[in-house]
Amino acid sequence: MGYVAIKGGGRAIAGAEAAVEALRCAEGEQGTPLSLSAIEQQLRLLTSRVVSEGGLYHPRLAALAIKQMQGDTLEAAFALRAYRSTKPRLMDLPVQDTRRMRLIRRISSAFKDIPGGQMLGPTTDYALRLMRLDLANESAEDFRAVSRRFLDGVGDADLPDTFPKVVDALREEGLLPPLTRRAHAAFDITRDPLVFPVPRSAALATMARAETGSLLAIAYSNMRGYGDVHPTIAELRVGYVPVMLPHPVTGEPIEAGEVLMTECEVVAMYEGDTTEGPLTFTLGYGACFGHNEVKAISMAILDRALQKGMRDGPANPSEDPEFVLLHVDGVDSMGFTSHYKMPHYVTFQSDMDRLRTTQDKATTAQPQPEGAQA
């Protein structure tokens, strides 16, 4: 019996689930199910994006989420986050040193020669965006040959274990302010809500797991003129950071694993006055899980913009901590956007009541047109 239109919700949900699953497997007999390692390796930038926005470094689980969500990055990151909610936090991580990152790529747009040298690594920055039609029907043999050729040409790794940071050199020259070690621990956004004003570490953590596109859009607004960061990339590096944890018995730091990360430091023009010490350039910092350069650069620019906003008060959206930090989370923004698809019968009934009442009042209040008088 049809009570209201929404009756039968349980059956409808089950049906929707089956339809989604059917589309995933729509290739039928001709189809090959995606393997998780194929997603993790061949769609490595997609996987990167999902571990970063999901705030959980687990590429294999991210690959599963991508498969399950049929390539939707927002949904895949969301699934990782929800999985994370079931896990307790076991310890505070000591500060990790990205100087020890095992680099796959490192550039500076500030200096031609940087200590340790520039290393272009895997980038498509200078590739022509022409369609490579040969990939359309790539055979397994072609696929393996690429890997074989590349590995044949590579000698034994003679890379040093650590690379000095470009910003360290700038600091030594007095072009950047000296590092001051903060006594208090970093803000943990997974255990404390943002209550404004928030410390810089809260802003950095929020942006590190922000949705790439949202971060990019707000950073771009700053670059275009709603702000004035004018950044120079002092250093952008991509590589594997060894994760050092204290040994449970001895307390000595041991390497527990490694995480692929992208890190970016931008230097911006000096500002302020000379009463607070010598003038220096200012620094913006960005870092995220996985290989995602646009995200790390956007974050670094916004970090610099937010520092200005926190100090002088925001002059535009990208300098306003509330505006930036409360609107860049993909799980929040995507969820709330989707929720408008849910029934809103009651509130709409209430809206209609207000409109009808106001309409009635407006009609009665209007003076009758002269011709209408009998």
Partner 1 sequence: MNPGYELPLDEAGYSFGFLDEYAKREVRRTILKAISIPGYQTPYASREMPMGRGFGTGGLQVTLSLIGEGDTLKVIDQGADDSVNAVNLRHFVELTCPGVDTTERTAEATLIQSRHRIPETPLTEQQVLVLQVPYPDPLVVVEPSEARRKVMHGEGDYSRLLTKLYEDIVQFDEITISHRYPTRINGHYVIDPSPIPRYDVPQLHQNRALVLLGAGREKKIYAVPPYTRAEPLAFDDVPFRTEDFGDEHGQRRACKRCGATDSFLDELIDDDGHKHWQCSDSDYCNSRLTAQSATSAQGATAQEVNA
Beta partners for 105?
Answer: 238
CB 61 to partner 1: min, Å: 7
CB 276 to partner 1: min, Å: 25
CB 15 to partner 1: min, Å: 11
Beta partners for 244?
Answer: 255
CB 91 to partner 1: min, Å: 13
Using the minimum distance from each CB to partner 1, give the nearer residue, 11 or 181: 11
Pairing relation of β-strands 102-107 and 282-289?
A: unpaired
- The DSSP result for 174-194, as a single string, is TSSPPP---SSPPP-TTTS--
Burial zone of 331 (CB within 10 Å; 0-12 exposed, 13-18 middle, 19+ buried): buried
Using the minimum distance from each CB to partner 1, give the nearer residue, 83 or 220: 83
Go through 51-68 and write b for each residue having 16 or more CB atoms within 10 A of its CB, e for each that does not: bbbbbbbbbebbbbbbbe
Using the minimum distance from each CB to partner 1, give the nearer residue, 33 or 335: 335
CB 253 to partner 1: min, Å: 19
Rounded Cα distance, 76 and 47, in Å: 9
Return the CA Rg of the chain. Answer: 27
CB 241 to partner 1: min, Å: 13
Using the minimum distance from each CB to partner 1, give the nearer residue, 101 or 189: 189
Place of tokens 């994006």: 49
CB 98 to partner 1: min, Å: 18
CB 239 to partner 1: min, Å: 13
Using the minimum distance from each CB to partner 1, give the nearer residue, 349 or 368: 349
Beta partners for 254?
Answer: 245
Question: Which positions lie near partner 1, rule CB under 8 A?
Answer: 3-10, 12-13, 36, 40-41, 44, 58-61, 64, 78-79, 81-82, 84-89, 189-197, 257-258, 260, 322, 326, 331-332, 334-340, 342-347, 349-354, 357-358, 361-362, 365
- The DSSP result for 208-245, as a single string, is HTS-HHHHHHHHHHHHHTSS----EEEEEEEEEEEEEE
Using the minimum distance from each CB to partner 1, give the nearer residue, 78 or 285: 78
Using the minimum distance from each CB to partner 1, give the nearer residue, 189 or 234: 189
Using the minimum distance from each CB to partner 1, give the nearer residue, 59 or 213: 59
Using the minimum distance from each CB to partner 1, give the nearer residue, 143 or 345: 345
Rounded Cα distance, 232 and 301, in Å: 10
Rounded Cα distance, 234 and 99, in Å: 14
**List of residues 6+ apart from 114 with CB closer than 8 A:** 108, 166, 169, 235
CB 195 to partner 1: min, Å: 5
**Peptide bond connecting 197 to the previous residue in cis, omega within 30 degrees of 0:** yes
| Nearest 10 degrees: Cα torsion 331, 332, 338, 340 | 170
